[in-house]
């Protein structure tokens, strides 16, 4: 169950607010993979009626973050290393497709003005990654990729990649928190990626993204070794 530090839900769009609050609980590790809870428990926790809670939980189930059990309520989905590998591969294929499409369309650069807020996210994300600050990094990471996605691809692809990134973080956070040298496994090429896109160096951008892809797969290899040792 969410702890006493949970953010109270006070705004009118309860369904979305509850979904966002619970997603934050999962990402922060206060709701652990495999943990079970009921609609009533969540409704009591946030002091709201059951209906918007049930709707929010159904939404999170549709996003792959929760599993529904008709008799026992809901549980946080437990992703495996194999799931993580598949998600990383999907992320890489989709992003590479975006770059290829942009090249064919002649859209090789992004506007420096429109990307200015994304650059600020990149700076903060790189700083958090280099410092190994997961709680700061996750927020900037999700905002960075979401905002960059709205600039370089259509809304549907951007929404899909955002959902995929949330799932990746849900898997990764519990494992990253126990890494003795977590900074080794955190991507810190946000600014490099933005700089490459602004000047239209798509091959450089692809190289940054490929390094990110390989880093993720290397970490998956490490997790496999940990689980089998």
Would you place residue 229 in the very low, low, confident or very high pLDDT band (cuts 50, 70, 90)? Answer: low
**Together in a domain, 64 and 157:** no
> pLDDT, tens digit, for every residue of 199-221?
889 899 999 999 999 999 999 99
**Together in a domain, 94 and 124:** yes
Residue 54, pLDDT above cutoff 70: yes
- Domain endpoint, select from 24, 53, 76: 76
> pLDDT, tens digit, for every residue of 96-111?
998 888 888 777 677 7
Q: Is 26 exposed, middle or buried, given 0-12, 13-18 or 19+ CB atoms closer than 10 A?
A: buried
Whole-number pLDDT of residue 30: 85
For residues 92 and 210, give the distance between their C-alpha atoms in angstroms, rounded to a whole number: 8
Range of the domain at 59: 14-76
4 within some domain:
no
Residue 12, pLDDT above cutoff 60: no
For residue 8, give the DSSP letter.
P
Task: Give the DSSP H or E segment for 162.
Answer: helix 155-176
Residue 226, pLDDT above cutoff 80: yes
Q: Any idea how long the chain is?
A: 229
Number of folded domains that form the chain: 2
- State mean pLDDT over 34-55: 92
Whole-number pLDDT of residue 71: 74
β-bridge partners, 37: 74
Contact present, 46 and 29 (Cβ < 8 Å): no
- State mean pLDDT over 14-21: 92
- Domain endpoint, select from 76, 92, 117: 76
- Domain endpoint, select from 51, 76, 101: 76
For residues 160 and 69, give the distance between their C-alpha atoms in angstroms, rounded to a whole number: 25
CATH of the domain at 108: 1.20.120
**Together in a domain, 171 and 158:** yes
Whole-number pLDDT of residue 2: 53
**Together in a domain, 58 and 93:** no
Residue 196: closest CA among 99, 124, 104, 97: 99
**Together in a domain, 114 and 203:** yes
């Amino acid at each position: 169950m969410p702890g006493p530090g949970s953010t109270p839900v006070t705004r009118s769009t309860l369904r979305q607010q509850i979904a966002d609050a619970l997603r934050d609980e999962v990402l922060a590790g206060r709701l652990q993979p495999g943990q079970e809870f009921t609609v009533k428990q969540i409704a009591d926790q946030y002091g709201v009626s059951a209906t918007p809670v049930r709707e929010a939980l159904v939404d999170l189930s549709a996003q792959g973050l929760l599993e529904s059990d008709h008799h026992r309520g809901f549980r946080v989905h437990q992703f495996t290393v194999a799931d993580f590998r598949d998600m990383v591969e999907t992320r890489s294929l989709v992003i590479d497709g975006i770059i290829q499409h942009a090249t064919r369309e002649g859209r090789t650069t992004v506007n420096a003005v429109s990307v200015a807020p994304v650059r600020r996210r990149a700076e903060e994300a790189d700083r958090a990654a280099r410092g190994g600050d997961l709680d700061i990094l996750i927020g900037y990471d999700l905002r960075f990729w979401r905002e960059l996605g709205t600039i370089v691809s259509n809304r549907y692809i951007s929404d899909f990649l955002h959902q995929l990134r949330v799932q990746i973080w849900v898997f990764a956070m519990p494992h990253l928190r126990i890494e003795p040298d977590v900074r080794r496994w955190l991507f810190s090429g946000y600014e490099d990626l933005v700089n490459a896109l602004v000047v239209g160096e798509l091959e450089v951008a692809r190289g940054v993204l490929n390094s990110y892809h390989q880093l993720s797969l290397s970490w998956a290899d490490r997790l496999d070794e940990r689980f089998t040792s």
